[in-house]
Amino acid sequence: MSEALLNHATETIKVGSKSFAAAARLFDPATRRSVLMLYAWCRHCDDVVDGQELGSSTLAPSQIDPARELAILREQTARAYAGDAMNDPAFAAFQEVALRHAIAPRFAFDHLDGFAMDVAGARYDTIEDTLRYCYHVAGVVGLMMASIMGAKDPAVLDRACDLGLAFQLTNIARDIVDDARNGRCYLPAEWLREAGIPPEEVGLPRHRVPLARVAARLVDYAEPYYDSAAAGIQALPLRSSWAIATARNVYRQIGIEVKARGPRAWDERVGTSKATKLWLLARGGLTALGSRVGTTGVRPAHLWQRPGSAFEAHLDAVHATAV
């Protein structure tokens, strides 16, 4: 069963995210196993709510009851934390990871809340609204990944969340047109109004020039979060630092490509070539080695703050006083 879970998780990430799959190979075997199995659960939950399998539709919209599927996911997640037997491979994998690494249940349920935002057809008027969505679908995944790597310090978790935010901002910029075809838009409505793009027309070719400016703005907005994440890499074990630095480089490069292509950014899906990935992998190794010296510094105060961070810091302070 254990080997079958790992095989399932490996195939899931290979199909679902080539960018992260490349970086995941750099983890030590035990960490890689847990990271892959957590990814398999995240991908499974996303697909179930959308009636897909690894991003491809398997059911017609009329056959899907997203609210019901989401309720089942919440129930199964609670059962996994309770130690019940899990028959679904994705939940068996999640249970192993969550219990082994003491992943906070609120992180998992916060992630499911992100899918609930899609189910409810949430709208995003400001960049803060968009960041709140990014937290639920990606920032909290960074928190769970960091937990696997042994991070407990709230300041380190903040940096892990920042990386997830940056990843998702990049994904949104890359996938604007694809999302529009599915009736979704995660761009701040006020940015679209400033650009003269009606939200319901965001995917239309005639808006490509102003849309490219909005996408470039979003890519630029991700930069301080990428910088913050880079500063937190030194807190991780060396091989984990290398993997995360590489993933950071690869996703950031996707944003750079989106910005560079301008109105042509959505002619085909933006990615990175094998040669570019190898170059970014080498850079990630140098970043990881360089992170062993120096200090992290203070996280910029203007960055969006994840929910619960202050409470975690309070608990740490209370614990330190008690000791």
What total of structural domains would you count in the chain?
2
- The closest alpha carbon to 228, from 244, 214, 213, belongs to 244
Read off the pLDDT of residues 268-285 as tens digits, 9 standing for 90 and up: 999 999 899 999 999 999
Per-residue exposure over 117-143, b if at least 16 CB sit within 10 Å of its own CB, e if not: bbbeeeebeebebbbbbbbbbbbbbbb
Q: What is the DSSP letter of 139?
A: I
Read off the pLDDT of residues 90-120 as tens digits, 9 standing for 90 and up: 899 999 999 999 999 999 999 999 999 999 9
Per-residue exposure over 153-178, b if at least 16 CB sit within 10 Å of its own CB, e if not: ebbbbbbbbbbbbbbbbbbbbbbbbe
- Based on the fold, state whether residues 52 and 132 are members of the same structural domain: no
Residue 94 in tokens: 């999640």
pLDDT number for residue 313: 52
**Helix, strand, coil percentages, rounded to 5, for the chain:** 75, 0, 25
pLDDT at 316 over 60: no
Read off the pLDDT of residues 152-165 as tens digits, 9 standing for 90 and up: 999 999 999 999 99
- Based on the fold, state whether residues 228 and 177 are members of the same structural domain: yes
- Based on the fold, state whether residues 278 and 131 are members of the same structural domain: yes
Residue 280 belongs to some domain of the structure: yes
Q: What is d(CA 180, CA 202) in angstroms, rounded to the nearest whole number? A: 7
57: which strand partners?
Answer: 52
Q: What is the DSSP letter of 126?
A: S
pLDDT number for residue 323: 32
56: which strand partners?
Answer: 53
Query: What is the reported pTM?
Result: 0.90
pLDDT at 311 over 80: no
- The closest alpha carbon to 127, from 256, 268, 224, 230, belongs to 224
Instruction: Decide: 133 and 124 in contact? Cβ < 8 Å.
Output: yes
Residue 314 belongs to some domain of the structure: no
Q: How many CB atoms lie within 10 A of CB 286?
A: 11
Determine the structural domain holding residue 199 and report its residue range: 123-294
- Based on the fold, state whether residues 136 and 78 are members of the same structural domain: no
pLDDT band at 297 (very low <50, low <70, confident <90, very high): confident
- Based on the fold, state whether residues 97 and 128 are members of the same structural domain: no
Q: In this predicted model, which residue has the larger pLDDT, 18 or 88?
A: 88
- Based on the fold, state whether residues 149 and 283 are members of the same structural domain: yes
Dihedral angle, C-alpha 273, 220, 152, 309, nearest 10 °: -150
Read off the pLDDT of residues 126-151 as tens digits, 9 standing for 90 and up: 999 999 999 999 999 999 999 999 99
- Based on the fold, state whether residues 148 and 289 are members of the same structural domain: yes
Residue 117 belongs to some domain of the structure: no
Residue 115 in tokens: 């899918």
